[in-house]
Every structure is written in C-alpha cells, then in structure tokens.
C-alpha cells in the first residue's frame, strides 16, 4: 500500500543531532548529506509512484527513501551490501534520507529488489507512459538549475554505447547458449539421446574450444541443426508452445540460418547477412549490434544532453534516453529534440556531424532551435566550384550572379532545382568553364543546382565559420560520457534488458547531476583568477 512519507518533517527529542557536539553538528550541516536532504530528498514527488502499489494492506517502505538510496548507491558507487551497511551505520546517509536516529527504520535487502522490480514492471507494462525515474530527473534538474542559476538555453548532445550484463560472444558461442537453454527446457522423458549429450560434461569444451578454427563453419552448422531438432521437439509438446525457449529458438534460426534450395539442408548465413538487430545474447533479447567507427559492440546506446553556456558555474545533464544501439544519431535527435525543448526551453544545440540531416535541420527550425554542427558527414565536392561561389538569394533561392559576376538572362526555381540561363558567349570563353556547374546549349548556357545541395553548401559554410566555437562548446560532453562509463559503471551495467538498463542509466545520470550540484553548493567550481600578464619588465631577485 502507498503512503507518503512526511515523518522527516516532524522533530523528536531522540534525534542524534540534539546530543552532538556543536562543532560536529556544524560539520554535518556543511556536508553533502545536508545538501542532499534539502535539495534532493525533500524535492522528491512520491505521488506518481502510487501506481506501483495496491490500495490495501500495510504501508510499504517509503518511496522517497527507496529512491534516495538508489541515487546514493550510484553517487558513491556502492554495492547493494555496502548500501545496506551505510544505511544502518552511516549517519550521513541516514541524515540525507530524513532519518535522524540510527536504527530507526529497518531495511531488508528484499525491499530494495522489490522496489526495483516495481519500477521495471511499470516500464514493461506501460512503455508509452512517462518513465517514473525520468519524471524525477526532470523535476530535480529544474530545481538545481533554478537554485544555481543555470541557463538551459545552450545545450550539447552526444551518444555513447554501453553493454548490459552479457558476454562478448561470437556466433558459435551464441548458438551453444541458445541450444543449451532449449535442451534444458525439453522434459527429460521427451529429450532425444542426441540432444541429451548437450548437457553432458565436456560437450561445451569439445564443441567450442577443442576444435580447429578451420572447423568453425562445420561446428556452427552442427549446432544449428541441433537447434532445429530442439525446435521440432518443443513444437511437438503442447504445453511448451508458448515457452520463451521455443520463441528464442525460432528467432535465432530465422536470423542465423536458411534452408538451401534444392538440398533442403539448413545452412548458416554469411556474417554480412546477419542483421544488426539480431539476437546478441540468449539472456538479453533487446540488445543489438552496432559498429561506430572502428568499434563494434553489442548492447545499447545512451543519449545525453547537457547545458553548455560559458557563464554557467557548472553544467547539468538535461536529457537522457536509452535505446537499441543500432539506432542512428539522426533518429535519436529527431525523437528527443521536441522533448528537450519542451522540458528545458533549449534554443541552441551543439552536436557533431553524425546528427546532421535535412530533416534534423528542419525539425530544429520548427522547434525554434539553432542546431550547430561541428562538422558534416560525407566529403565536400572538389571537382566543381563550390555552390556558395554563386550568388543565390537566401529567400527565393534564385541565382542572381555566377562566380565571375555575370547576371543570368533569366532564372527561376522549379522541380526542386534553382535554374539560371547565361549568355552563351560569356560562358564559352570563361576561364572557369571546366569547373562551373554550367551546361552549354545551342542558344545559351544553363546552370541547374539541386536545392538540397544549396542548403548543404550553406550549412557547410556556417559550420566552417563557427567551427572553433561549436567544437569548443560540444567537446566537453565527451568528459561526461567518460565519467558515467569509466567512473560510475555505465561501460557495462549489471542488469539485462532495455527497461532495466533504462532505469539504472537514469539513476546514474541523476547521481551525476547531484554530484555536480552538491559540489557547487559546498563551494566548488570557483572561477580561477586570471593569470597575470607579463609587463616585460625584469625584476631583480635579491640574494
């Protein structure tokens, strides 16, 4: 049963702070716990979490304490055992979550797991509703920004890949995992002797590790054939028709193999024919594969946005989203940009070239956001004169002059192109004729340029002119990614599945904001004094 926790607002004569030495109490009031209590714990809105509980029964463990403990766990990089010990015996942790007397409220390990399970089940059951953790993230971020005077107008965005709790495995190991799981699901009385060997000691070692690399293809096809046999057995058992093992088998075989025409034999697909959204782990069906640059990885992608105004005393993460890692940066920004604008009022967004597309630029205009790119994908054409060498009206896109300053006889825009007709004699004798976009005709010379190319050329010029500033404002987000991954465990999470990864990533992002805000409130992020300028006067040193 859900019940709001307001007990922390009531004082008691048994509070430990009443018996503390004044100097110790003063240190407590200037610690991270005091900042956390006032600006995090007291700001948590418990009401949205009422949907996780029934309307009857005893009141559950307080939501604001459960949520705060999750934040503290990721702030301090605690394990669950360390978190529980800190809750019982660390007064700073107790003070942070509104408890003033050690041992006042019992916390069982199962209580933590039940709360996480409720969050996860809600994500599964209501995928289209607002994530409860994200709702708290937005609320706290706005509160931090208001308290610290953080401007959210200028922001930067990036994506980073991470793994769930799965192993890096090739097709052979994946085939074995799928097969083993399926064979275990087959009741012993229905399990053929050939498939029973899969569970015998030594089968895995002999199949995966004691064969020559040249035999990989034959071993893979052997495992695929056994997977097909397991599928047939499970399909022949009525009570197994809806089991997860059979569903995974069917998916795996459809993605990894095909029936050879003529022979009817099951054959393994070529690596290049395996889709990026194919099964990566029998234990995490949501994970996908992506190769970004030279790095390939199975798992997920995290998008984050953060403030980047130079006058901000520190920067806050303003948005996050976990998705399958085979989703492109363009798709991600198209999905997130309207939400970022709605939640934070962003007016300028700095991104790298991977986010560029005409649709993204158009979406930015529709949401009144100037999107600044540090570069653009693709190569700039070199065989012809740059399109920006022509004078093209910004409003009408009509060509008004050629690179040599010649005015066209007539010009217009039609069929998605800007078209200009020039005098034949002017173009035939022009020194730039071989580099120009013109085409000589019987009566005149015509230039036709696609309007998309015109806009891309203009975008390239804007990127070049502001590249230094754009790169400077965007670059620091790489440090945020690094802090989350290498400093606080995002590189490989200890959970599996997109929904669980979404919840844990949310805790880590919130914890990162809390760390930054707490540092600010405790006097951090002071501006450095300007370095003294050398006057050129040599001052003698006294011996």
Residue 443 CA from chain centroid, whole number: 57
Name the percent of the chain in helix, strand, coil, to the closest 5: 50, 15, 35
Q: How far apart are CA 182 and CA 34, in angstroms?
A: 53
Interstrand relation of 348-351 and 370-373 (parallel, antiparallel or unpaired)? parallel
Structure token pair of residue 283: 């234990």
Q: Would the pLDDT of 430 be above 90? A: no
Residue 183 has a pLDDT of 96
Q: What is the pLDDT of residue 533?
A: 55
DSSP-assigned states of every residue in 149-161 = T---SEEEEEEEE
Residues 6+ apart with CB under 8 A from 152: 145, 307, 316, 318, 344, 345, 346
Cα torsion for 336, 341, 342, 343, to the nearest 10°?
A: 80
State how far Cα 378 lies from the chain centre.
24
Q: Confidence class of residue 526 from pLDDT cuts 50, 70 and 90?
A: low
Report, as an integer, the average pLDDT of 98-110. Answer: 92
* Exposed / middle / buried, residue 292 (Cβ in 10 Å: 0-12, 13-18, 19+): middle
Beta carbons of 84 and 69 less than 8 angstroms apart? no
Query: Which pLDDT does position 9 carry in this prediction?
Result: 85
Cα angle, residue 528 at apex, residues 527 and 533 outer, rounded to 5°: 135
Q: How do strand 154-162 and strand 348-351 relate by DSSP bridges?
A: parallel
Structure tokens at 199: 């569970």
What's the pLDDT score for residue 380?
A: 56
pLDDT given at position 211: 67
What residues does 349 pair with on adjacent strands? 155, 371
* Of the candidate ranges 68-77, 224-233, 342-351, 463-472, the one whose mean pLDDT is the lowest: 463-472
Residue 16 CB neighbours (<10 A):
16
Residues in a beta bridge with 392: 399
Predicted local distance difference test score (pLDDT) of residue 217: 75
Q: What is the pLDDT of residues 281-317, one digit of tens each?
A: 999 999 999 987 777 889 999 999 999 999 999 999 9
- Residue 204 backbone phi and psi in degrees, to 5: -65, -45
d(CA 453, CA 460): 10
CB atoms within 10 A of CB 286: 20
Per-residue pLDDT at 529 exceeds 60: no
The Cβ of residue 415 has, within 10 Å, a number of other Cβ atoms equal to: 8
Proportion of the chain above pLDDT 90, given as a percent: 68
Which segment of 9-13, 257-261, 351-355, 399-403 scores lowest on mean pLDDT? Answer: 9-13
Q: What is the pLDDT of residues 166-195, one digit of tens each?
A: 988 789 999 999 999 999 999 999 999 999
Structure confidence at residue 528 (pLDDT): 45
pLDDT band at 318 (very low <50, low <70, confident <90, very high): very high
The three-state DSSP-derived secondary structure of 167-220 is CCCCHHHHHHHHHHHHHHHCCHHHCCHHHHHHHCCCHHHHHHCCCCHHHHHHHH
Average pLDDT, whole number, for the chain? Answer: 90
pLDDT of residue 167: 85
Per DSSP, 423 falls in state: E
Q: Which of 34, 99, 101 is nearest to 62 (CA)?
A: 99
Report which of residues 218 and 217 the model is more confident about: 218
- State yes or no: pLDDT of 77 exceeds 80: yes
Q: What average pLDDT does the segment 35-60 reach?
A: 93
Instruction: Note the pLDDT of residue 170.
Output: 86
Q: Side-chain half-sphere of 444: how many Cα atoms within 13 Å?
A: 12
Q: Per mean pLDDT, which range of 105-109, 217-221, 441-445, 528-532 is the poorest?
A: 528-532
Query: Token digits for 541?
Result: 């040193």
Which has the closest alpha carbon to 177: 108, 248, 243?
248
Q: Is it the case that residue 28 has pLDDT exceeding 70?
A: yes
Q: How many Å separate Cα 7 from the centre of its chain?
A: 37
Give whole-number Cα distances, 4 to 47, 69, 93, 115, in Å.
7, 16, 20, 15
pLDDT higher than 60, residue 242: yes
Helix axes 32-39, 22-29, angle to 10 degrees: 50
pLDDT(84) > 50: yes
Q: Chain centroid to CA 534: how far?
A: 46
Instruction: Compare 530 and 88 and report the one with higher pLDDT.
Output: 88
CA-based angle 81:86:88, to the nearest 5?
Answer: 100
Rounded Cα–Cα distance for residues 384 and 206 (Å): 61
83 Cβ neighbours under 8 A, 6+ residues apart: 69, 72, 73, 112
Model confidence pLDDT, tens digit, residues 245-278: 999 999 999 999 999 888 888 999 998 999 999 9
Q: What angle do CA 268, 270, 275 make, to 5 degrees?
A: 100
Contact criterion met (CB below 8 Å) for 281 and 174: yes
* Lookup: tokens for 135: 């709702």
pLDDT (0 to 100) of residue 234: 96
Angle between the N-to-C axes of helices 171-185 and 216-235, in degrees from 0 to 180, rounded to the nearest 10: 30
Q: Where are the alpha helices (DSSP H) in 277-348?
A: 329-344
379: confidence class by pLDDT, cuts 50, 70, 90: low
Residue that is written with structure tokens 């010649």 in the block? 406
Q: Which domains does the chain have, with CATH numbers?
A: 7-129 (no CATH), 154-163+289-374+477-521 (3.30.420.10), 171-273 (no CATH), 387-462 (no CATH)
Q: Which residue has the tokens 């948590």?
A: 44
Per-residue pLDDT at 542 exceeds 70: no
Coil, strand or helix at 145: helix
**pLDDT at position 71 over 70:** yes
Could you give the count of Cα atoms lying within 13 Å of 520 in the half-sphere of its Cβ? Answer: 18
- The token pair that represents 423 in the structure block: 């005098």
Contact 341, 319 (CB under 8 A): no
């Amino acid at each position: 049963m859900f019940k709001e926790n307001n007990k922390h607002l009531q004082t008691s004569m048994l509070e430990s702070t009443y018996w503390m030495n004044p100097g110790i109490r003063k240190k407590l009031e200037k610690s991270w716990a005091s900042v956390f209590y006032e600006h995090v714990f007291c700001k948590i809105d418990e009401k949205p979490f009422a949907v996780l509980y029934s309307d009857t029964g005893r009141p559950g463990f307080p939501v604001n304490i459960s949520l705060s403990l999750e934040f503290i766990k990721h702030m301090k990089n605690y394990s669950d055992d360390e978190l529980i010990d800190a809750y019982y015996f660390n007064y700073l942790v107790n003070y942070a979550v509104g408890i003033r007397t050690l041992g006042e409220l019992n916390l069982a390990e199962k209580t933590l797991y039940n709360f996480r399970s409720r969050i996860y089940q809600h994500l599964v059951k209501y995928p289209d509703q607002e994530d409860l953790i994200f709702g708290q993230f937005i609320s706290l971020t706005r509160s931090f920004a208001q308290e610290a005077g953080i401007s959210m107008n200028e922001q930067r965005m990036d994506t980073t890949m991470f793994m769930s709790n799965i192993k890096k495995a090739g097709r052979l190991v994946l085939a074995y995992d799928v097969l083993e799981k399926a064979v275990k699901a087959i009741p012993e009385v229905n399990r053929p002797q050939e498939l029973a060997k899969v569970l015998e000691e030594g089968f895995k070692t002999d199949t995966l590790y004691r064969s020559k690399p040249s035999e990989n293809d034959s071993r893979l096809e052997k495992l695929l054939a056994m997977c097909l046999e397991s599928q047939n057995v499970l399909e022949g058992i009525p009570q197994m028709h809806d089991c997860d093992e059979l569903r995974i088998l069917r998916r795996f075989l459809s993605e990894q193999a095909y029936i050879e025409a003529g022979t009817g034999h099951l054959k393994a697909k070529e690596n290049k024919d395996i889709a990026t959204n194919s099964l990566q782990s029998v234990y995490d069906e949501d994970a996908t594969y992506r190769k970004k640059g030279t790095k390939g990885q199975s798992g997920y992608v995290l998008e984050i946005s953060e403030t980047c105004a130079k006058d901000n005393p520190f920067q806050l993460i303003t948005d996050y989203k976990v998705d399958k890692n085979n989703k492109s940066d363009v798709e991600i920004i198209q999905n997130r940009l309207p939400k970022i604008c709605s939640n934070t009022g962003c007016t300028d967004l700095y991104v790298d070239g991977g986010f560029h597309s005409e649709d993204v630029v158009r979406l930015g205009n529709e949401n009144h956001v100037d999107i600044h790119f540090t570069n653009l994908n693709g190569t700039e054409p070199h065989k012809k004169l740059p399109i920006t060498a022509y004078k093209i009206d910004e409003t009408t896109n009509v060509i008004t002059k050629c690179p040599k300053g010649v005015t066209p006889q007539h010009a217009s825009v039609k069929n998605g192109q800007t078209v200009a007709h020039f005098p034949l004699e002017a173009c035939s004798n022009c020194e730039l004729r071989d580099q120009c976009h013109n085409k000589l005709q019987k009566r005149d010379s015509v230039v036709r340029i696609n309007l998309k190319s015109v806009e891309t050329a203009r975008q390239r010029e804007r990127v070049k002119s502001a590249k230094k500033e754009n790169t400077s404002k965007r670059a620091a987000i790489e440090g945020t990614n690094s802090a989350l991954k290498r400093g606080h465990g995002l590189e490989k999470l200890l959970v599996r599945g997109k929904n669980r990864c979404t919840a844990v990533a949310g805790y880590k992002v919130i914890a990162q904001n809390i760390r930054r805000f707490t540092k600010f409130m405790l006097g951090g992020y002071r501006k450095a004094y300007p370095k003294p300028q050398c006057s050129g006067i040599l001052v003698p040193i006294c011996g």
